Amino acid sequence: MKDNAACPLSSSQIAARPVPVAAPAAVAAPAEAAAPAATDPLPVVRIGAIAAVTPDNHWLIRSLWGRAAVGIIGGAPKCCKSWLGLDMAVSVASGTPCMDRYSVDCQGPVLVFLAEDALPNVRARVDAICQHRRLDVEKLDLHVITASVLRLDLQGDQRRLAAAVKKYKPRLLLLDPLVRLHRLDENSASEISGLLGYLRQLQRWGDVAVVLVHHASKKQRAQPGQALRGSSDLHAFGDSNAYLARRGDHLLLTLEHRAAVAPAPIELVLKSAADGSATHLALNQGEAPPPTDNPQALADAAWAELRRRGAAVTRTELRSQLRVNNERLGDALVKLQQDKRALQTPQGWMALEPVPAGAGLQQALRLG
């Protein structure tokens, strides 16, 4: 988890920007922006003056979703798309790894709208994820849009959503599902491109990652994005995309990134405690261990396992669980110590919770 200082755009910069608005079928200029003269040249900057992307500011959720990336969580009905979206939302809001594996690089507020779920059901899902992660939902920086209808093909609702982004300054905006957010013809590129253009404008203006949940057909295609319902513009739109498909008793998550190499497909399961509580998505138990040639991935996996145990874990136990050699595990534990994510005690290693800068060590230590 990274401090918000690692996320380039400040709250004051966002607040100073005009509220964007788009016509239903074409993106208009921001409402308060003056139109340039016809003879004015286009704005140009030397390549070296553009801020460089570094590993510290490339990801919102490492390997899963780019920082301030737009994209789609797609899949056939009942493939846990909403569960994945909420898992990502809880992760960004809390700074805890998504699905106990993928670390958050840009923690901050989250704004969500789930058009097909009653508010108590949204609360119940978030409660379940928080129970699994031992988080206090009352302190979670996650905000739910409570409007009964949100129509992003209407300028009035576009302005209201932009105003909410300006007020809450989210790092992640989750909109679920796309089909309930408009009355356009999804097969018409000319119609759907206007809505997507507005969301792209909102993403750039607010420096916010936008995650759309969208349905796909059950037919298998060469690329999962080709199975998304509607115009091919939907597939082309995403900087990061995540596709879920059922494979027997588990789910297969396939990722795409515009500017990064995607990991291999990931097997997931929806799990609950014995009494049916704490429902959450998790990597399948048969999933391969974290790649030992990726120090960050191994450190994240070690932290997640320490946190899951909730008590001191010996190095031998941790090595057996993660199936890595002793030297690489040692490097990962040293990294966790340096990042103040783990503490070595006489009984073994313990996870430290991510806390705001300045909080005491004892507040971070999980006493199990």
Instruction: Flag whether 43 is in a domain.
Output: no
Instruction: Flag whether 124 is in a domain.
Output: yes
Instruction: Flag whether 175 is in a domain.
Output: yes
Domain that holds residue 222: 55-283
Q: Looking up tokens 């922006």, which residue turns up?
A: 33
Q: 220, 255, 283: which is the final residue of a domain?
A: 283
Instruction: Flag whether 12 is in a domain.
Output: no
Count the domains in the chain: 2
Instruction: Flag whether 342 is in a domain.
Output: yes
Q: Contact at 8 Å (CB) between 339 and 308? A: no
Residue 224 and residue 275 share a domain: yes
Contacts of 52-55 with C-beta under 8 Å, sequence gap 24+, read 53/259
Residue 139 and residue 240 share a domain: yes
Residue 246 and residue 303 share a domain: no
Residue 326 and residue 246 share a domain: no
Instruction: Flag whether 344 is in a domain.
Output: yes
Instruction: Flag whether 135 is in a domain.
Output: yes
Residue 199's H or E segment, with its range, is: helix 189-206
- Sequential pLDDT tens for the chain (368 residues): 555 545 666 555 656 666 675 543 333 434 445 666 778 899 999 999 988 877 667 899 999 999 999 999 999 999 999 999 999 999 999 999 999 999 999 999 999 999 999 999 999 999 999 999 999 999 999 999 999 999 999 999 999 999 999 999 999 999 999 999 999 999 999 999 999 999 999 999 999 999 999 998 766 665 778 789 889 899 899 999 999 998 888 899 999 999 998 888 899 999 999 999 999 999 986 544 555 556 777 888 888 888 877 788 888 888 877 777 888 888 889 988 888 889 999 989 998 876 544 444 444 444 33
pTM of the model: 0.73
